[in-house]
Structures are given as structure tokens and as C-alpha cells.
Structure 1
Amino acid sequence: MNPNLQQPDVSTNSNKPLDKKRKKRVKEWKLFGEGMVYLFPALLILGVFLFYPMVKTLYYSFFITNPRGDTVVFVGLEHYIELFKSSNFQNSLIQTLKFVLYTVPTGVIIALFLAVIANEKVKGIEFFRVIFSSTLGVSVAAGASIWLFMFHPSIGVFNNIVQTLGLEAIPWLTSRQWALISVSVTTIWMGIGFNFIILLGGLQNISQDLYESALIDGAGYFARLFKITIPMLSPTLFFVVTVTLINSFQSFGQIHILTGGGPNEATNIIVYSIYKEAFEFSRFGTASAQAIVLFFFILVFTVLQFKVGEKKVHYQ
């Protein structure tokens, strides 16, 4: 054997895979660090205005507080137990579910109807698109104030129409029978602008080739509507329904201006009940418990919607 022949450096070769893994890991951490730098402003804002208040709300729900909001006595789950025993909270829960039932389907159907009309290629349709979407530029306070005058028992537009027809004036905002319906009508009107714009955008993204093929096959208007338009619009509809559902659970401003939760707790939905408990009665612990319950209700409804509704969504 030639003594001058050198043996291969096994240790050097074996270190190469380790060096590659180490470099790959360093690169991944570097990319992660760069990503966190870009995400830091958003995470900071979310942490201050979303995550911290949620944790603080959960913390308060386990305590009795004084009027200044300082925790005094730890009560554990007592607030939650008392809530579900309370007839007032049960009434708020029922009124909230009614309010969501009144506003979500009706608001989405009306917005869809207007979007389908506005999507037609008719001369001057741009004017109606502006009109249909105009409620998006109206604040909750301004919109509720407009409807407050319209629902006025003596000078309101609706009662003037009713009395012109020879009927008795309707106590729109002072009757337990009509108050929740009146607030729901206001809420539907205020949400139409946003829903209309989103649905119109979805309609304009549907390929015209599908309609042309359907026309060649002899499909009528309603056949094209239910066989092409609705299925192809289902992702947009799914988004609109989800957002409208969440917004309905969180409605506050119009209720505060129109009815103040009355009459006789008829419009005292959970969000308004939270407001009264915290800022009128200074019971921050009970209000926080209600806020956590509302959060879980919204979470459950949203998860169910994704589990059930998304199965019927037709993605291109």
C-alpha cells in the first residue's frame, strides 16, 4: 500500500449536511424576524385595542367591582350563573335573537335584489347605483336621527301615510309590539349600502361567457339567475351574511338613539344591556360577563355558519 495516499476526511464530509441545516435554520429565523418587523405595528395595535381589552374583560367577569372599576371581591363564575338565572338577561337574549332574525336575512335579500337590478346594462343605471349605496356614507347617529323623525307619532312620515289611509297612528317606538321591528328596519336600511356594494362587485366578476352560453341553450331570466348568478355569487353572499350577522349582534347606536332599550325592555339586546350594566349601574363585573357570553354566541354562530354554510359555497 502506498503510504503517500491520504485517507479522505470523513469528518469534513459529515459536517456538510449539518452546515446546510444550520444555514437553512438561520435563514428561516431571519425571514421570521423580518416578517415580525413588518407585523409589529399591526400586532401592537391589535394588542392594545383588541387582545388586552378581551383579557381585561375576562378578568373583570370574575370580580365584583366598585363604581371606579376597581376589583373588590373575587366571585369566580357567580356572575355567569346569575346571568342565566336572570329573567332580564333571558329577555335580552331572546330580543337579540329576534333582532338578528329580522335584520340579517331581510337585509341581505334586499341588497341582493338591488345589486341584481343595478347590474343590468341600462342607460342611467349609474345614478341608481349611487342611490343604493348612499347609506354607506351615513353615520349611525345621523341615520338613526333621520328615522327618529320618520317614526315620530305626530309629525312622522309613516304615521302621516297611515292616517291618510284612514287608519290609526302606530306607536312605532313606544309600543313593545312595534319597537323592535322599527329598530330592525332602521338597521336594515343602514346596512344596505355596504352589502349592495360588495354584492354588486361580486356580480360584475361573473364571466359573461356563462350567460351567453345559457342564452344559446334557451335559458330564461330566472333560470340564469338561479343556475348561474346565485351559485357563482355564493362566496360573496357567504361573506356578506357572515359580516351582517356579526354586525347585528353588535348593534348599539340606533337602539340608544331610537328607544334606549325600551319600551319595557323590548329592544334591550345584549349589547345595550352591557352598556347599561357598565355605564349606568357601574356593575362592570356583570357587564364583562355578558360581554364574554356575547363573544361566545358570536363565535358559535360564526363557526356553525362556516361548518354548514361554506359547504354550499361554489368556488370557481
Structure 2
Amino acid sequence: MKRKINKKRITRSSFGAGMLYLLPSILLFGIFLFYPMFKTLYLSLFWTDTQGNPVQYVGLENFMYLFESPSFMTSIKATLLFVLYTVPVGIVLALILALLANENVKGIGFFRTMFSSTIGMSVAASSVIWMLMYNPAIGIFNKILSAIHLPELQWLLDPDYALISVAISTIWMNTGFSFLILLGGLQNIDERLYENARIAGVGTWYKLRNITLPMLSPTLFFVVTVSIIGAFQSFGQIDILTGGGPMESTNVIVYAIYKDAFINYDVGLASAQAVLLFFCILFVTILQFKIGERRVHYQ
């Protein structure tokens, strides 16, 4: 009986000590994550004044309005296209660069630094650089088109090219991060696997398909998940390069939330969009874990 009482005391003492260690993190998460999340969910059920204060409870009317709004449907389309443009191309490019930088040749450190250099640049600075390159009068892209006798383009002013132009700049910005993570994954692969493959006399493509990619699959899974979430949340480059235009062709959901909250002062509608975006990202992430993780090979 005494042993049971002592065990209970030890368990309570351990639980109390554990909660004490976790308290700073719980407070930070509560203030900066859980409170804003529940506040957003609460405001999505109300009409609000220009200060963001709830005025009238409307239930799901904000959500019903969004699904009937052509502007919101355009935002969904732009967001999905943006994710489709940036994630696959960005990951494939980063993987190719990582495979090249993983070779043990003289001077490879310089190229590793160059390939990862975009990670050290802010979104604002990178966007300004790309804005200059896209400039119709002085931009380098139109200079190249003119040099090869092709018609010049309004990269950021034409609805047919604006989203692709922003996607290209986003791929460039995100390549450094994906490259570093994938290069780290490649360098953690057991070298004995490649030695056995060389002894067996198999080719480069066989090693890539049957050794490199399976061993790299946990890292690839992480990079894909983080890249998709990041693409859904992209804002800075769109705000600087296009401001959601032209004709709302780059008005992704995050930028639409910003406009409704801080330009139109409709915090209730912006909160409803934020809730929908949260559940969309949550659904995509769960889907990735349900489907994608089955193909992940853990050592």
C-alpha cells in the first residue's frame, strides 16, 4: 500500500516538474499561437466594425458569402496554380543542384555557397531585384528577348504572365533552403551502399533510382511538406511585385486576407478566409502524411 502511495507521489511530482519545464513554451504558444487562432475562428462568425470588433453574430454567413464570391474563387485558383508552379519545379531544381554539389571535386565548396546563397536574402530585397529584372524598359529579360528578336513582355502587368513571373522569383528565393536540406540528406547516406554498387558495376541511373532516392526519401518528404505549406502562405513577393494584380491574377488567399483585413477593414471576412486557409493546409498536410509517407524509406 505504501509503495502505491509513493508511486503516485513520484508520478505527480514528475508531472509537476515536467509541466514546470514546459510552462514557458506553453505560455508562448498560448499567447502567440492558440489565442490568435481561436480569436480568428471567433471573429469569422461575426460582422465587425472598422476596428475589428465584433458587431453582429452571423454564424456561417461569411463563409457562404466567400463560396459565392467570384473574387474568392479567383483567389483559390491563383493559390493552387501558384503552389503547382513553385513546389515541383523548386524541389526538382534543388535536388539537381544538391546532386551536383554532393560530388567530391576540387572547388565544390564555392558552388555549394552559390547554390545556397538565396537563403541569406530577405523576401523584400529579392523581390526588388526581380522587379528590376522584370521592368519592361530596363529589365534584363526584355533585353534578352529583344536581342533574339522576340516580342517584349509586360511580365508583371499581363494577367497571362504575372503569376508565372512571381512563381519564378519564388522558386529562386526558396531554392537555397531546399538545396541545403537535400544536400545534408545526401551527405548522410551511407557511403558503403555506393561502394557496393560500384563493385557490382551498376550505372549512375540505377544508383540514383535504387539507392539515392530511397535513402533520401525522408528528407524529400520533409522538403515537400514544408514547401507546400510555405507556398500556401506566400505574401511578401506578391505584395511587392504585383499587389495582387493585374485583374486579381496573383491575388492569392493570403494577400486577399491582407486586403480585406487592412485595406477594406472587413476583419470578419478576412478571418473566415484565414480559417478556410488553415483547414486547407491542414487537409493537404494530412493527405501528404497518409499517402506520401508510405513511400518514405527510413534507415
Tell whether 2:286 aligns with 1:303: yes
| 1:40-119 pair list within 5 angstroms | 40-119=23-102
What's the CA shift for 1:42?
Answer: 1.2
Aligned to 2:226: 243
Q: What's the C-alpha RMSD, in Å, of the aligned pairs?
A: 0.6
Tell whether 2:198 aligns with 1:198: no
Q: Distance in 1 between matches of 2:97 and 2:18?
A: 42
Counting aligned pairs with the same residue, the percent is 58
TM-score (norm: length of structure 1): 0.94
Amino acid at match of 1:181: I
Q: Distance in 1 between matches of 2:72 and 2:100?
A: 42
Amino acid at match of 2:231: S
3-state SS of 2:47 partner? strand
Q: Distance in 1 between matches of 2:14 and 2:111?
A: 49
Q: Distance in 1 between matches of 2:179 and 2:2?
A: 57
Structure 2 stretches of 5 or more lacking a match?
none
Q: Distance in 2 between matches of 1:171 and 1:251?
A: 22
Aligned to 2:253: 270
TM-score (norm: length of structure 2): 0.99
Q: Distance in 1 between matches of 2:117 and 2:86?
A: 19
Aligned to 1:153: 136
Q: Distance in 2 between matches of 1:149 and 1:173?
A: 11
3-state SS of 2:150 partner? coil
- Please say which structure displays the higher CA radius of gyration: 1
What's the CA shift for 1:29?
Answer: 1.4
3-state SS of 1:72 partner? strand
Q: Distance in 1 between matches of 2:49 and 2:85?
A: 38
3-state SS of 2:160 partner? helix
Q: Distance in 2 between matches of 1:310 and 1:113?
A: 22
Q: Distance in 2 between matches of 1:253 and 1:167?
A: 31
4+ residue segments displaced more than 3 Å: none
- Which residue among 253, 263, 266 is the counterpart of 1:283? 266
Aligned to 1:23: 6
Aligned to 1:10: none
Q: Distance in 1 between matches of 2:8 and 2:99?
A: 53
Q: Distance in 2 between matches of 1:98 and 1:232?
A: 30
- Which residue among 134, 137, 141 is the counterpart of 2:117? 134
What's the CA shift for 1:303?
Answer: 0.2
1:248-294 Cα distance to aligned partner (Å, 9 max, x none): 00000000000000000000000000000000000000000000000
Tell whether 2:107 aligns with 1:124: yes
Structure 1 stretches of 5 or more lacking a match?
1-17
